[in-house]
């Protein structure tokens, strides 16, 4: 199954960049949590994630795609299970308790959706995307979206949407449909504002638009994120020297706001390196999509990459106080086992596609 | 669609995605550039404001010692509880929780916050001054639970005054600096002296606040100290006051059962030994911020406890003024001490009959006996010979006109009339008839107890008008030790003729030691000399009119004294408010003098007799005679010129 010559086609450079980001995140978690054992947990997450990566790399993505509907249904079942029997933390029901490990199935839903969508569009015999395709693909995406939204976890649910759009885009969805969707979204926004968003979500959005109006309440985190980042300066305050993160002015400095804390301690120089690594990983993945042997491979790479990229961009923008505060982690760097494992597994798929570009 | 075409389209769309990602990352990069490089200084400062706080370390005020080194006023630690608005997330909630935890009235806390709303938010709002330990404990516990991160408990040095409000008017009190006191090293919120020594010597006593820069975390807990500038304690000051004499005087008043004032000093240099004004207030009430109710009750009290009677109360000196008239007549060479005048119980001047207090008259008396018996006719005659301007001249030389120059705030000027003054004030010339009442200390004469103390000191020391002062030495600080304060310049100096001095001293000695009115101050072997007097509160006619009102119309009593007769070491005045008889102040003077000598000679300090003195029915020669209206040249009739000696502030 794992032929020896495939070994030479593994994208070591990208894998190196991914692991480098994991280690930077690990160091930052250690710094932000100052001696607590969270970094050890994160190390386990990385280790398990690498195992998952190897597994996803080892099995031919085409075989995986063939089984994708089982994977999809399995994840969906877990999501429904979580909805009823999950562990509640911070007001949402997201986790399955496995004793030592809490698993968050929604993180794995991304890869599952990517797989199913890649298979759906990749096997389409039609040259172009027609509305009926879009409706089926939409259904595939929105079923897990709605289940995750019920947890509630709008942030993770939202990361499923880029998968749909990017894969559909690559599959040749006509631009005018994008236009129509954009118009519908604009028209739907006020309705969503009124009915779909919860009060705290509305507050976050309105606070983002005018953070000074509520510098002590909801605007606090956003303002603190900006202060944290800005006070880092060109070279940063140094490892464990960040006052904002260390003294807890910045909330969840090891998780949602890890990039702010990173920017504080390592300055613009560190930010430059981290942004560079992320950009490298993303561009390299797009390159893998281009090199993919078949459409299935290309769509799979783009599907996995879409949610990853969306989350990276959103989280980093939020870290600089440039986006409304949303409980969205930074893939590869933030603390969190499920996210780490799912993300690394996703990169296993991307590497998989590139590695097998010459096989039949 | 062909396979190749498909691939080309995917390729195109991938380029779009690549460009989009690069643009997105470039945008993020620029944003971080702006935040971290361009606006770095701004956010750096905001981060520092977040986690660094500068706490003021209050400097304790300088300790006050008495002349023997006993501590009079020191500092204790008290706790203030304040709200730091800049760290408040929800001020309303903080107010509620704080008032609940500390047992405060919520409305009052909210009012306090409202009052300071206009101030910059970094300035803490003090909610409780001098908090109880229970309050401090309750709040500290909540702070550990992160419930009140914006509440600060601070230990501050607070003034501690002696119990029993000892010498309250001398020490004065402290309070937050008012708008007009700001500047010159005094900042908003500083505690500064508002009255008494605390005010006059505020600069010396205040010291310099220190500061502590600390790092706090997001819930306000102090993590570490960055820098600490310790406060510099105010300089220590030694007063001229003698604690035991001060206590003796105040005990004397309590024992005698009336209010009043006393200023007792060393006549040789003007060092004030005792400074008393009663009724008093407790300066401790002010030390940690006075509450409105106490302040209001102090202000509305009819007995006016806030008035510093020693230098702010003005009363007619009555018979004590005869000392001035006698001195003037002798020094001007109008009479000799042996000059005799016959008193038949009254005499005619300018067509009016002026009575002596003794109906049958004193017969023929010389000056010594006239003093001893306080014969009005004798001094009417001398006053008439002198004229008001010469009386004024000598009153001024003895220190009874204007201010004494004591180093305490808000001293009132004592008033001795003269022709020029009257012309200026009323536009009328002086009528010689008015001089007659002035010569027994009635009429327009209105003086502070301090002025009388200076007068009797000048007589005691033979003509040197010393300036009373309350500071003996100041600690220079920096280990330089005590430096004696410069003795204030002598205000005036006249060398009395030896005859004058002997006669005055003899007469005053006889008042206490012979058949005079001051026998209650007699101490065998101490040669106490003195003079009693009565300050009329209201004219006899006015008294009839004021009957039925609740004004206290009883006369005030004076006793001025020095001891021993030759080379006096202690001199002063006892003013008894509404005590009706000057001689009732004599026992207070006696007790202080006895204490003085006992202390000097290392003997046990005297105790006051257990029982209260019987209310006197002695005949009082100082009782003001009913003065006739003054007949002026053009036959106009003036009402008797008795100034109601209402205490003026």
Note whether B43 contacts A: Cβ–Cβ < 8 A.
yes
Note whether B49 contacts A: Cβ–Cβ < 8 A.
no
Quickly state the pLDDT bin for B146 (edges 50, 70, 90). Answer: low
Q: Note the pLDDT of residue A201.
A: 72
Q: Which residues 208-227 of A are in CB contact (within 8 Å) with B?
A: 216-217, 220, 224, 226-227
Q: Residue A274 CB: number of other CB atoms within 10 A?
A: 25
- Token digits for B56? 């003021």
Whole-number Å distance between alpha carbons of A337 and A343: 10
Note whether B214 contacts A: Cβ–Cβ < 8 A.
no
Each residue's pLDDT tens digit, B356-405: 888 888 999 999 999 999 999 999 999 999 999 999 999 999 999 999 99
Q: Note the pLDDT of residue B274.
A: 96
User: In B462-608, where does DSSP find H-type helix?
Assistant: 498-513, 540-546, 586-600
pLDDT over 50 (residue B642)? no
Q: A-B interface: how many C-beta pairs under 8 angstroms? A: 129
Q: Note the pLDDT of residue B511.
A: 92
Each residue's pLDDT tens digit, A119-163: 998 887 766 777 788 889 999 999 999 999 888 888 888 899 999
- CB–CB of A217 and B89 under 8 A? yes
- Residue B13 distance to chain A (closest CA, Å): 6
Each residue's pLDDT tens digit, B46-95: 888 878 878 888 899 999 999 999 999 999 988 888 888 776 777 888 88
Nearest to B246 by CA among B418, B465, B22, B70: B70
Whole-number Å distance between alpha carbons of B320 and B398: 13
Query: What rounded mean pLDDT belongs to chain B?
Result: 86
Task: Compare CB distances from B36 to A268, A283, A286 and report the shortest one's residue.
Answer: A268
pLDDT over 80 (residue B542)? no
Please state which of the ranges A220-224, A286-290, B532-536 shows the lowest mean pLDDT: A220-224
Quickly state the pLDDT bin for B451 (edges 50, 70, 90). Answer: very high
Let me know: does B459 contact B327? Beta carbons within 8 Å. Answer: yes
Quickly state the pLDDT bin for A171 (edges 50, 70, 90). Answer: confident
Whole-number Å distance between alpha carbons of B117 and B289: 20
Whole-number Å distance between alpha carbons of B330 and A298: 128
- CB–CB of A230 and B39 under 8 A? yes
Query: What rounded mean pLDDT belongs to chain A?
Result: 86
Please state which of the ranges A154-158, A259-263, B37-41, B550-554 shows the lowest mean pLDDT: B550-554
- CB–CB of A230 and B43 under 8 A? yes
Q: Note the pLDDT of residue B143.
A: 66
Q: Note the pLDDT of residue B209.
A: 87
Q: Note the pLDDT of residue A313.
A: 95
Task: Compare CB distances from A170 to B13, B35, B51 and report the shortest one's residue.
Answer: B13
Whole-number Å distance between alpha carbons of A160 and A179: 20
- CB–CB of A249 and B9 under 8 A? no
Interface test with B, best of A247, A293, A354 (most B CBs within 10 A): A247
- CB–CB of B10 and A283 under 8 A? no
Contact list in B for residue A231 (CB cut-off 8 A) is 40, 43-44, 46-47
Phi, psi of A196 (to 5 degrees): -85, -35
Pairing of strands B529-535, B556-563: antiparallel
Identify which has the larger pLDDT, A304 or B544. Answer: A304
Quickly state the pLDDT bin for A3 (edges 50, 70, 90). Answer: low
* Overall average pLDDT of the A179-195 stretch: 80
- Token digits for B436? 């007659």
- Residue A293 distance to chain B (closest CA, Å): 10
Whole-number Å distance between alpha carbons of A44 and A335: 11
- Token digits for B113? 């916050």
Helix count (H) and strand count (E) of chain A? Answer: 16, 3
Quick one: closest CA in A to B15, which residue?
A: A286
pLDDT over 70 (residue B627)? no
Quick one: closest CA in A to B39, which residue?
A: A230
Contact list in B for residue A227 (CB cut-off 8 A) is 43, 46-47, 50
- Token digits for A118? 């890649």
Task: Compare CB distances from A286 to B18, B215, B217 and report the shortest one's residue.
Answer: B18
pLDDT over 70 (residue B641)? no
Whole-number Å distance between alpha carbons of B437 and B431: 11
Quickly state the pLDDT bin for A360 (edges 50, 70, 90). Answer: low
Q: Note the pLDDT of residue B619.
A: 61
* Overall average pLDDT of the A223-252 stretch: 85
Contact list in A for residue B219 (CB cut-off 8 A) is 248
pLDDT over 50 (residue A32)? yes
- CB–CB of A286 and B14 under 8 A? yes
- CB–CB of A243 and B42 under 8 A? no
Quickly state the pLDDT bin for B471 (edges 50, 70, 90). Answer: very high
pLDDT over 80 (residue B549)? no
The CATH architecture one would assign to domain B53-236 is Alpha-Beta Complex (3.90)
Each residue's pLDDT tens digit, B564-609: 998 999 999 999 999 888 889 999 999 999 999 999 999 888 888 7
Nearest to A56 by CA among A124, A98, A115: A115
Note whether A23 contacts B: Cβ–Cβ < 8 A.
no
Task: Compare CB distances from A243 to B25, B42, B47 and report the shortest one's residue.
Answer: B47
Task: Compare CB distances from B217 to A127, A248, A298 and report the shortest one's residue.
Answer: A248
pLDDT over 50 (residue B98)? yes
Q: Note the pLDDT of residue B7.
A: 77
CA B492 to chain centre: 25
Whole-number Å distance between alpha carbons of A115 and A306: 12
Nearest to B324 by CA among B186, B484, B177, B494: B494
A312: left (phi over 0), alpha (psi -120 to 50) or beta: alpha
Contact list in A for residue B40 (CB cut-off 8 A) is 230-234
pLDDT above 90 as % of chain B = 48
Q: Note the pLDDT of residue B101.
A: 84
What secondary structure letter does DSSP report for A213?
G
Q: Residue written as tokens 């639970």?
A: B145
Give the torsion sign (CA, B217, B221, B226, B227): positive
CA B342 to chain centre: 46
Nearest to B530 by CA among B264, B276, B255: B264
- CB–CB of B47 and A283 under 8 A? no
What ipTM did this prediction achieve? 0.93
Contact list in A for residue B6 (CB cut-off 8 A) is 127, 172, 295
- Residue B214 distance to chain A (closest CA, Å): 13
- Residue A209 distance to chain B (closest CA, Å): 17
Note whether A245 contacts B: Cβ–Cβ < 8 A.
no
Q: What is the largest CA-CA distance in chain B?
A: 153
- CB–CB of A227 and B47 under 8 A? yes
Strand partners, B31: none
Quick one: closest CA in A to B90, which residue?
A: A216
B350: left (phi over 0), alpha (psi -120 to 50) or beta: left
Task: Compare CB distances from A320 to B9, B32, B88 and report the shortest one's residue.
Answer: B32
Q: Note the pLDDT of residue B639.
A: 43
Q: Note the pLDDT of residue B635.
A: 42
Note whether A309 contacts B: Cβ–Cβ < 8 A.
yes
pLDDT over 70 (residue B148)? yes
Note whether A177 contacts B: Cβ–Cβ < 8 A.
no
Phi, psi of B464 (to 5 degrees): -95, 120
Please state which of the ranges A107-121, B114-128, B316-330 shows the lowest mean pLDDT: B114-128
Q: Note the pLDDT of residue B109.
A: 86
Let me know: does A213 contact A205? Beta carbons within 8 Å. Answer: no
Q: Note the pLDDT of residue A341.
A: 94
Quickly state the pLDDT bin for B644 (edges 50, 70, 90). Answer: very low
Contact list in B for residue A261 (CB cut-off 8 A) is none
pLDDT over 80 (residue A270)? yes
Phi, psi of B154 (to 5 degrees): -130, 140
Q: Residue written as tokens 């969270």?
A: A38
Q: Note the pLDDT of residue A214.
A: 53
- Residue A230 distance to chain B (closest CA, Å): 4
Let me know: does A260 contact A323? Beta carbons within 8 Å. Answer: no
A308: left (phi over 0), alpha (psi -120 to 50) or beta: alpha
Please state which of the ranges B224-233, B356-365, B616-625 shows the lowest mean pLDDT: B616-625
Superfamily of the domain at B243-283+308-638: DD-peptidase/beta-lactamase superfamily (3.40.710.10)
Strand partners, B342: B364
Q: Note the pLDDT of residue A152.
A: 81
Whole-number Å distance between alpha carbons of A288 and B606: 109
Nearest to B375 by CA among B622, B147, B166, B134: B622
Whole-number Å distance between alpha carbons of A304 and A162: 10
Compute the half-sphere exposure of residue B486: CA atoms within 13 Å on the CB side of its CA.
3
pLDDT over 80 (residue A102)? no
Whole-number Å distance between alpha carbons of B643 and B321: 15
Quick one: closest CA in B to A319, which residue?
A: B32
Quick one: closest CA in B to A217, which residue?
A: B89
Whole-number Å distance between alpha carbons of A202 and B547: 79
Q: Which stretch of DSSP H or E encloses residue B449?
A: helix B449-461
Whole-number Å distance between alpha carbons of B381 and B538: 24
Q: Which stretch of DSSP H or E encloses residue B239?
A: strand B237-239
Q: Note the pLDDT of residue A198.
A: 72
3-class SS at A287?
Answer: helix
Task: Compare CB distances from B21 to A232, A247, A282 and report the shortest one's residue.
Answer: A282
* Overall average pLDDT of the B225-234 stretch: 88
3-class SS at A1?
Answer: coil
A278 burial (CB, 10 Å; 0-12 / 13-18 / 19+) is buried
- Residue A317 distance to chain B (closest CA, Å): 7
Note whether B221 contacts A: Cβ–Cβ < 8 A.
no
Please state which of the ranges A36-45, A283-292, B583-592, B623-632 shows the lowest mean pLDDT: B623-632
Let me know: does A33 contact A254? Beta carbons within 8 Å. Answer: yes
pLDDT over 50 (residue B649)? no
Whole-number Å distance between alpha carbons of B581 and B556: 7
Q: Note the pLDDT of residue B91.
A: 81
């Amino acid at each position: 199954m794992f032929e020896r010559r495939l070994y030479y086609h593994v994208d070591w450079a990208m894998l190196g960049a991914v692991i480098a980001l994991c280690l930077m995140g690990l160091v930052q978690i250690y710094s932000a949590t100052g001696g607590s054992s969270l970094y050890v947990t994160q190390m386990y997450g990385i280790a398990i994630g690498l195992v998952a990566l190897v597994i996803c790399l080892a099995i031919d993505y085409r075989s995986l795609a063939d089984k994708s509907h089982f994977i999809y249904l399995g994840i969906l079942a877990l999501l429904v299970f979580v909805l009823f029997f999950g562990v509640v933390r911070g007001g949402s029901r997201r986790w399955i308790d496995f004793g030592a490990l809490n698993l968050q199935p929604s993180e794995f839903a991304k890869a599952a959706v990517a797989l199913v969508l890649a298979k759906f569009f990749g096997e389409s015999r039609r040259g172009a995307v027609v509305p009926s395709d879009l409706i089926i693909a939409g259904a595939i995406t929105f079923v897990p979206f709605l289940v995750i939204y019920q947890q509630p976890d709008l942030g993770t649910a939202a990361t499923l949407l880029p998968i749909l759009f990017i894969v559909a885009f690559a599959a040749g969805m006509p631009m005018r449909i994008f236009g129509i969707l954009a118009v519908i979204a604009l028209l739907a926004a006020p309705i969503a504002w009124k009915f779909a968003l919860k009060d705290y979500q509305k507050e976050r959005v309105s606070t983002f638009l005018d953070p000074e109006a509520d510098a002590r309440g909801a605007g606090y985190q956003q303002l603190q994120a900006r202060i944290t980042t800005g006070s880092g300066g060109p070279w940063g305050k140094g490892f464990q020297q960040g006052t904002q993160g260390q003294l807890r002015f910045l909330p969840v400095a090891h998780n949602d706001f890890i990039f702010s804390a990173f920017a504080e301690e390592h300055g613009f120089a560190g930010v430059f390196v981290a942004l560079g690594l992320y950009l490298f990983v993303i561009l390299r993945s797009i390159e893998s999509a281009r090199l993919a042997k078949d459409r299935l491979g290309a769509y799979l790479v783009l599907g996995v990459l879409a949610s990853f990229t969306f989350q990276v961009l959103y989280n980093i923008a939020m870290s600089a106080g440039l986006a409304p505060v949303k409980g969205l982690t930074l893939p590869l760097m933030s603390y969190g086992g499920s996210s780490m494992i799912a993300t690394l597994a996703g990169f296993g798929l991307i590497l998989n596609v590139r590695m097998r570009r010459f096989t039949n | 669609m062909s396979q190749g075409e498909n691939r080309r389209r995917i390729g195109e769309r991938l380029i779009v995605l690549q460009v989009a990602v690069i643009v997105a990352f470039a945008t993020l990069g620029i944003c971080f550039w702006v935040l971290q490089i361009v606006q770095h200084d701004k956010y750096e400062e905001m981060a520092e404001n977040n986690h660094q706080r500068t706490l003021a370390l209050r400097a304790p005020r300088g300790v006050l010692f008495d002349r023997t080194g006993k501590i009079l006023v020191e500092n204790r630690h008290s706790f203030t509880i304040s709200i730091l608005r800049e760290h408040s997330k929800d001020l309303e909630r903080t107010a509620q929780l704080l008032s609940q935890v500390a047992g405060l009235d919520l409305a009052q806390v909210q009012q306090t916050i409202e009052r300071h709303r206009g101030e910059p938010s970094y300035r803490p709002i003090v909610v409780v001054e001098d908090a109880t330990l229970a309050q401090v404990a309750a709040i500290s516990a909540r702070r550990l639970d992160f419930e009140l991160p914006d509440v600060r408990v601070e230990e501050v040095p607070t003034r501690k005054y002696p119990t029993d409000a000892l010498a309250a008017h001398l020490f004065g009190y402290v309070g937050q600096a008012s708008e007009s006191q700001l500047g010159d090293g005094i900042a908003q919120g500083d505690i500064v002296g508002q009255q008494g020594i605390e005010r006059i010597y505020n600069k010396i006593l205040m010291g310099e606040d220190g500061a502590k820069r600390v790092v706090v975390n997001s819930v306000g807990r102090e993590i570490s100290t960055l820098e600490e500038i310790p406060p510099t304690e105010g300089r220590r000051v030694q007063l001229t006051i003698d604690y035991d004499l001060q206590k003796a005087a105040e005990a004397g008043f309590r024992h005698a059962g009336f209010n009043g004032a006393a200023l007792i000093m060393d006549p040789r240099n003007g060092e004030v030994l005792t400074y008393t004004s009663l009724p008093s207030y407790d300066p401790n009430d002010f030390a940690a911020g006075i509450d409105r109710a106490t302040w209001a009750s102090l202000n509305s009290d009819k007995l006016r406890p806030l008035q510093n009677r020693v230098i702010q109360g003005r009363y007619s000196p009555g018979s004590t003024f005869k000392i001035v008239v006698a001195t003037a007549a002798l020094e001007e060479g109008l009479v000799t001490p042996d000059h005799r005048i016959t008193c038949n119980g009254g005499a005619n001047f300018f067509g009016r009959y002026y009575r002596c207090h003794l109906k049958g008259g004193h017969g023929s008396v010389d000056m010594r006996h006239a003093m001893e018996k306080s014969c009005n006719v004798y001094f009417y005659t001398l006053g008439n010979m002198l004229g008001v301007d010469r009386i004024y001249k000598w009153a001024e030389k003895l220190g009874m006109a204007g201010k004494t120059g004591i180093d305490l705030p808000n001293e009132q000027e004592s008033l001795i009339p003269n022709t020029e003054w009257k012309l200026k004030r009323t536009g009328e010339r002086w009528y010689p008839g008015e001089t007659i009442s002035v010569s027994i200390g009635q009429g327009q004469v209105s003086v502070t107890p301090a002025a009388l103390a200076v007068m009797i000191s000048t007589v005691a020391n033979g003509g040197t008008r010393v300036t009373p002062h309350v500071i003996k030495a100041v600690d220079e600080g920096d280990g330089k030790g005590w430096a004696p304060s410069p003795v204030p310049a002598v205000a005036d100096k006249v060398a009395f003729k030896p005859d004058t001095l002997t006669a005055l001293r003899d007469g005053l000695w006889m008042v206490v030691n012979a058949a005079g009115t001051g026998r209650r101050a007699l101490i065998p072997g101490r040669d106490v000399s003195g003079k009693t007097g009565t300050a009329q509160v209201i004219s006899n006619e006015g008294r009839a009119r004021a009957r039925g009102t609740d004004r206290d119309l009883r006369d005030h009593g004076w006793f001025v004294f020095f001891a021993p007769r030759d080379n006096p070491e202690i001199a002063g005045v006892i003013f008894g408010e509404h005590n009706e008889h000057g001689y009732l102040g004599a026992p207070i003077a006696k007790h202080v003098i006895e204490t003085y000598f006992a202390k000097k000679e290392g003997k046990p300090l005297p105790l006051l007799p257990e029982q209260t003195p019987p209310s006197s029915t002695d005949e009082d020669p100082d009782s003001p005679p009913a003065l006739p209206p003054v007949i002026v040249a053009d036959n106009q009739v003036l009402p008797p010129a008795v100034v109601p000696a209402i205490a003026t502030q």
